[in-house]
Structure 1
Amino acid sequence: MHCLWCDTTIMPEISWKTIIWLPKPKRLCASCEDTLMILQGKRCSKCSRVSDSDRCPDCTWLERRTTQEDSLICNYSVFAYNEAIKEMVARWKYRGDYCLAEAFQRDYRQAFDREFSFLPGKTAVVPIPLSGQRMDERGFNQAQRLADFLPLPTLDILTRSHREKQSKKSRRERLEADNPFRMTGSINNPVLLADDIYTTGTTLRRAASVLKKHGCPAVYALTLIRG
């Protein structure tokens, strides 16, 4: 087995325990794995930002800014945004290294098992969709790949119109933009949204608002990275 990032050979650990119960093979070597930062410590219960308070300043500001109920109950993120994961995700998303997602599978699934075990059995995972143009450019949807790691049925019930990349917009521009998401049907079960990064939360909240308007009783999110 070789590291998906640096191609170093990964030598399996040999012990009586590993002989009896074969461990799942690691997809990153120890050195590459150590460059990724799992989010730890106290964090905002709403958006997963590291914070000493139950609500971070961003979420407090957002709650004061609107009188409407937030369609997204909460987001949980796995990794902190640093240079290592930035480079990995860039190669995965923009340079078509599809298999690199397997480097994140174990931690993404463990976060689900730990944080969302309370979800009812009828919960579905909905990957944040790409627009048709973005899908043609990349060849796959990274959110769909993350959704595949979870033990929930996947619903492709959202579509997305093409817009300028969110990363090029300011926070105000993101908040003021029209909702790019549309539903292709209705749903009356809880949903867990899957996506690669939470930055301002605008994308997830817009998707959640559409789902809520079409009958979804509760929307949560599990993202790979907290930007």
Structure 2
Amino acid sequence: MRCYICFNEIIPTITWVNVFKPPEQQRCCADCLAQFEPVTPTCPKCGRGDSDGICFDCERWGMGQEDPLKKNVASFSYNAFAKDWVAKWKYRGDYELLFSLQGKLDVPVGYAMVPIPLSEERLKERGFNQSEAIIHMLGKQPVSLLGRQGTTKQSKKQRQERVDSENPFQLLDPINQPVLLVDDIYTTGTTLRHAASLLKEGGCPEVYSYTLFR
């Protein structure tokens, strides 16, 4: 088996535990896996790893309005290695690269998993919805409750533009149980909170989120 990221051969380790059964299939070598930096959250709301308590972005959402997002959980820091991985996976269409993280993610369970939708134009350009891909990789079924209006890429916006942007989503179906929004990257949290606010308005009691990177 070769690593999905660097293509180097992965030599399975044989121990007394697995000597009598086939070793677990690995899709990411130890060298590549070591470059994914696990998040050690210091902000209890969004999982940011370099704040002293509630971070500034989360504080802003608490000023004069109820924060629709209960909590975000992320697996890895969005470091240089992660940025290159995302570029290959999401923007260059290497869909199978996602499976290099299979079995490496600690994702909250017990919630309806709701993907962040793409516009038709963006979906056609990219070939897949990254949020749905993550959910499928986890062996779950996406619950599509949201639609998207407009085509402006969040990645092309400056930080303040993201925070001030209008809600690009529309609620397709209400839900009366807690949900877990799923996306690839948490930057300012604006995208997730736009989605969460609509779900809350539609009767959802609590909205959490999971992202690969923070």
Q: Same fold (TM over 0.5)?
A: yes
Which residue number corresponds to residue 213 of structure 2? 225
Which residue number corresponds to residue 45 of structure 1? 44
- SS of the residue corresponding to residue 17 of structure 2 reads helix
TM superposition score normalised by structure 2: 0.93
1:194 aligns with 2:182: yes
Whole-angstrom CA distance in 2 between matches of 1:50 and 1:2: 32
* 1:133-189 CA-partner distances (Å, limit 9, x unpaired): 000001111111111234654201111113321122123322222211112111111
Whole-angstrom CA distance in 2 between matches of 1:143 and 1:190: 18
Which residue number corresponds to residue 63 of structure 1? 62
Are the equivalent residues in 1 in contact too, given 2:121–2:151 (CA < 8 A)?
no
Whole-angstrom CA distance in 2 between matches of 1:14 and 1:57: 48
Are the equivalent residues in 1 in contact too, given 2:70–2:206 (CA < 8 A)?
yes
**Map 1:157-168 → 2, pairs under 5 A:** 157-168=145-156
C-alpha RMSD over aligned residues:
1.7
Which residue number corresponds to residue 30 of structure 1? 30
**Map 1:1-227 → 2, pairs under 5 A:** 1-20=1-20, 22-40=22-40, 42-51=41-50, 53-64=52-63, 67-108=64-105, 111-112=106-107, 116=108, 119=110, 123-150=111-138, 152-226=140-214
Are the equivalent residues in 1 in contact too, given 2:14–2:23 (CA < 8 A)?
no
- Which amino acid is 2:39 matched to? L
Shift of residue 33, structure 1, vs aligned partner: 1.4
Shift of residue 29, structure 1, vs aligned partner: 1.3
The worse-fitting range, judged by mean Cα deviation, of 187-196 and 175-184 is 175-184
- Which amino acid is 2:10 matched to? I
Q: Which runs of 5+ in 1 are unaligned?
A: none
The worse-fitting range, judged by mean Cα deviation, of 16-25 and 3-12 is 16-25
Q: Which runs of 4+ in 1 moved over 6 A?
A: none
Tell me the matched-pair count: 214
> 1:153/1:5 Cα in 2 relative to 1: closer, same or farther (>3 Å)?
closer
Shift of residue 43, structure 1, vs aligned partner: 1.5
Whole-angstrom CA distance in 1 between matches of 2:12 and 2:43: 37
Whole-angstrom CA distance in 1 between matches of 2:21 and 2:191: 42
Shift of residue 23, structure 1, vs aligned partner: 4.3
Are the equivalent residues in 1 in contact too, given 2:184–2:212 (CA < 8 A)?
yes
Are the equivalent residues in 1 in contact too, given 2:122–2:151 (CA < 8 A)?
no
- SS of the residue corresponding to residue 75 of structure 2 reads strand
- Which amino acid is 1:185 matched to? D
Q: Which runs of 5+ in 2 are unaligned?
A: none
Shift of residue 215, structure 1, vs aligned partner: 1.2
TM superposition score normalised by structure 1: 0.88
> 1:52/1:203 Cα in 2 relative to 1: closer, same or farther (>3 Å)?
closer
The worse-fitting range, judged by mean Cα deviation, of 139-148 and 49-58 is 49-58
Shift of residue 99, structure 1, vs aligned partner: 0.5
- SS of the residue corresponding to residue 11 of structure 1 reads coil
Identity among equivalent pairs (%): 45
